[in-house]
Amino acid sequence: MFNIIRYSQMVGLTAIGNTTNSHLGNVEEIWLDESGYVTYLSSRQRYWSLRQVASVGKETVSVDRPLIVSTPPHLHHGYQLPVRSRVGETLGWVEDFLFDWHTGEIVAYILAGEIASYLGERAILFPGDIEKYTPEALLIPEGAKNLLKPESEGSKDFICEKSTEVKFVIQEMTDRLQRLFNLNDGPYEIQIKIQQVSEALASTNKYDQRHLAEATEFLQGQWASLQHGISRNLNLAQTALEKAWQEIVSQNKL
């Protein structure tokens, strides 16, 4: 998916206001609801809903107001969550996880401890292979070890695992595609525009062809997520502009 990031990559980013560019603190924690979806981020003094996140960069996360000072109810940590068998035996813990910052869906758990020791590195387990998520533990079925993959193998196709160079080309292509994007575009139109942008960048001779090919292949495979992401950004931008205009109008009435 196009908007995947690790817990460990999100924590530590600087939060800035989407319209004001003001500094709002650093992301210190990521919070899950009782069903295991990421729903809130927090700094030392503030909380904000994942729905307020407008964009995520290498060093910053851009968020829309309003921010919440009091702690929202029923939030839980996903980091260091125990991993247990059906009979309650603790087999390890969640060392990291990958999630979609648009939807909050966790797409992979990175496990450490006894359960992963035979692999020689941390293990990756996908949500479809767990038995149940609870705020107290991640419950796995009998034989779950057979479903584990080494972290390096199981995570390689996610965008957050791409090299800095490839992610840069993906961002360059996405920026250009956003200017070409039409809300009524279907799969065929999106695929054509991705190829057109790829060829345009190739013609400049400024990009490594291997990086460009990998970025193009990734975007071609993620067209639906790309479409959703661009539509979401356009809607967030429109909402932010409307809020800013309402504030200006309200101040002028005073």
Residue 38 and residue 25 in contact, taking contact as beta carbons nearer than 8 Å = no
Closest CA to 101 of 194, 188, 156, 30: 30
pLDDT exceeds cutoff 70 at 219: yes
CA 221, CA 186: separation in Å to the nearest integer?
14
Query: pLDDT by residue (tens digit) across 77-119?
Result: 999 999 999 899 999 999 999 999 989 999 999 999 999 999 9
pLDDT exceeds cutoff 70 at 206: yes
pTM of the model: 0.77
Residue of higher predicted confidence among 148 and 3:
148
pLDDT of residue 1: 63
Residue of higher predicted confidence among 52 and 69:
52
Question: Could you tell me what percent of the chain has a pLDDT over 70?
Answer: 97
Q: How, if at all, do strands 29-32 and 38-42 pair? A: antiparallel
pLDDT exceeds cutoff 70 at 123: yes
CA 82, CA 73: separation in Å to the nearest integer?
22
CA 164, CA 152: separation in Å to the nearest integer?
17
